Structure 1
Amino acid sequence: MSRRRRVYEGKGKVLYEGPEPGTLIQFFKDDASTEPGAGADVIDGKGVLNNRISEYVFGHLNAIGIPTHFIRRLNMREQLVREVEMIPLIVTVRNIAAGSLSRRLGIEEGVPLPRSIVEFSLNSDELGNPLVTEEHITAFGWASPPELDDMMALAIRINDFLSGLFLGAGMQLVDFKIECGRLFEGDMMRIILADEISPDSCRLMDLATRQRLDSRVEGGDGVAVSAYSEVARRLGIMNENEPTRAAGPVLVK
């Protein structure tokens, strides 16, 4: 089985050329951190869990009419996705004060926000993914005003869905980040959700204990992968004794 051409490699994933024009294979890595400048430690099995969780979420989003790049899962670590022109922005939706918002504004972590807040950041690890305004975005041509409106609308709809999904599984969605891309279909172009949604891109906490259940949990690798596994189990994706290790990448023909 021949290896396919690598198109892009990020902190948590690798993209390879797909089996058909307009498709890519998205491979999930075990890298421990998705934060810029972090080390290269790995959490064995994390990529398998993120693949399954992201498949579950994107499949449900597709089913309710939210356009995404997800087509289907190929194996334990890979998905087949549509190729899109990525918009160089990170869209963050915040429901509860945490992380950089708490540090910037002096708000205690865990305080519910008056309403959900949507923020834009430039997707640049070298610059530390700085916050940007709509003025920056339109002035530098990263996205047009109509595209920003579409991204905001997608983010709000996704937040509504994810909040209910995780609440039903005994978890609270603190915040999450998404990336969007332009999908060209003939003469038409539309903005769709790309990348992934998993504990790497969400802050989650247990409703009862307030314990964190995401990539930012404190402790060793075993503690971290346990949190990922717990999210998968609560969503009904993986059985208690299902293995999370799989050799890879194994690429489709």
Structure 2
Amino acid sequence: MARRKKVYEGKAKILYEGPEPGTLVQYFKDDATAYNAQKKDVIDGKGVLNNRLSEFFMVGLNAIGVPTHFIKRLNMREQLIRAVEIIPLEIIVRNVAAGSLSTRLGIEEGTPLPRPIIEFCYKDDKLGDPLVAEEHIIAFGWASQQDLDDIVALALRVNDFLSGCMLAVGIKLVDFKIEVGRVWDGDYQRLILADEISPDSCRLWDIETGKKLDKDVFRRDLGSLTDAYTEVARRLGVLPSNSAPATKPHLIN
């Protein structure tokens, strides 16, 4: 088998050329990073869990008419996805005060917000993904006002879907991050959800106990990240309820 050409490698995923024009293969790594990669580790099975969980959410979003880059899962660690032109923004949707919002504004973590708050960060690891305003985004040409309106509408639909999924299994969706990409049909542009949706990109708390079931387990040294992600997958029915944590999985080609 010919070696696939690597297109891009990030902190948690690798993109390879896909089998057909306009497609890519997205590979989920076991690497865990926090604080802009200042804290790093390799967590056995993390990539397998994120692949399955992201598939679950992307399939559900596609089913309700929210367009995503997801085509199909190929194996335990890989997905076939549409190639998109990524808008250089991280879109953060917050339902409860936590993380950097609490730090920046002095709001006690866990305080419910009166409505979802959407924030934008400029995607640049060297700059630490700084928070930016809509005026910056439009002035520097990263997205138009129409793009921003469409992104906000898409982000709120994703928030409704994810909140419902999580509430049904006793999990509070505190906040999450998404990325959006452009696809072109001739001269016509569409914006679609890209990257991933997983406990790497969401804050998830058990409704009854407040136990963290997301990457804060790694950030704050609260226990086993694999156990936390496995718990989310079990509750959502992605894994059998009696399955063991996905440690040291065997890759299926």
Normalised to the residue count of structure 1, the TM-score between the two structures is 0.95
How many angstroms does 1:142 deviate by? 0.4
Asked if residue 51 in structure 1 is aligned to residue 54 in structure 2, the reply is no
Specify which of 235, 240, 243 is matched with residue 241 of structure 1: 243
**Distance (Å, rounded) in 1 between the aligned partners of 2:4 and 2:23:** 12
**Distance (Å, rounded) in 1 between the aligned partners of 2:38 and 2:166:** 28
Structure 1 equivalent of residue 230 of structure 2? 229
- Match of 2:157, SS state, is helix
Structure 1: which amino acid aligns with 2:142? Answer: W
Structure 2 equivalent of residue 169 of structure 1? 169
Structure 1: which amino acid aligns with 2:239? Answer: M
Segments of 5+ residues of structure 2 without an aligned counterpart are: none
Contact 2:4 2:17 in 1 (8 A): yes
RMSD of aligned Cα (Å): 1.4
The aligned runs of 1:106-117 (5 Å cut-off) are 106-117=106-117
CA distance 1:224–1:40, change in 2 (3 Å): same
Structure 1 equivalent of residue 82 of structure 2? 82
User: Which whole-Å deviations, capped at 9, do the CAs of 1:119-148 have from their partners, x for residues lacking one?
Assistant: 000011111110000110000000011111
How many angstroms does 1:37 deviate by? 2.9
How many angstroms does 1:34 deviate by? 4.8
Contact 2:227 2:245 in 1 (8 A): no
User: Which whole-Å deviations, capped at 9, do the CAs of 1:77-99 have from their partners, x for residues lacking one?
Assistant: 00000000000000000000000
Structure 2: which amino acid aligns with 1:227? Answer: A
**Distance (Å, rounded) in 2 between the aligned partners of 1:37 and 1:223:** 19
**Distance (Å, rounded) in 1 between the aligned partners of 2:131 and 2:212:** 25
How many angstroms does 1:111 deviate by? 0.5
How many angstroms does 1:186 deviate by? 2.4
Normalised to the residue count of structure 2, the TM-score between the two structures is 0.95
CA distance 1:28–1:249, change in 2 (3 Å): farther
CA distance 1:154–1:215, change in 2 (3 Å): same
Count of residue pairs the alignment pairs up: 249
**Distance (Å, rounded) in 2 between the aligned partners of 1:82 and 1:113:** 35
How many angstroms does 1:247 deviate by? 4.3
Structure 2: which amino acid aligns with 1:210? Answer: G
- Structure 1 runs of 4+ off > 2 angstroms? 37-40, 240-250
- Match of 1:116, SS state, is strand
**Distance (Å, rounded) in 2 between the aligned partners of 1:162 and 1:104:** 25
The aligned runs of 1:143-154 (5 Å cut-off) are 143-154=143-154
Segments of 5+ residues of structure 1 without an aligned counterpart are: none
- Match of 1:148, SS state, is helix
- Match of 2:129, SS state, is coil
- Match of 1:153, SS state, is helix
How many angstroms does 1:246 deviate by? 3.0
Structure 1 equivalent of residue 181 of structure 2? 181
How many angstroms does 1:184 deviate by? 1.1
**Distance (Å, rounded) in 1 between the aligned partners of 2:39 and 2:130:** 20
**Distance (Å, rounded) in 1 between the aligned partners of 2:123 and 2:158:** 20
User: Which whole-Å deviations, capped at 9, do the CAs of 1:91-117 have from their partners, x for residues lacking one?
Assistant: 000000000000111000000011110
Contact 2:27 2:79 in 1 (8 A): yes
Structure 1 equivalent of residue 221 of structure 2? 219
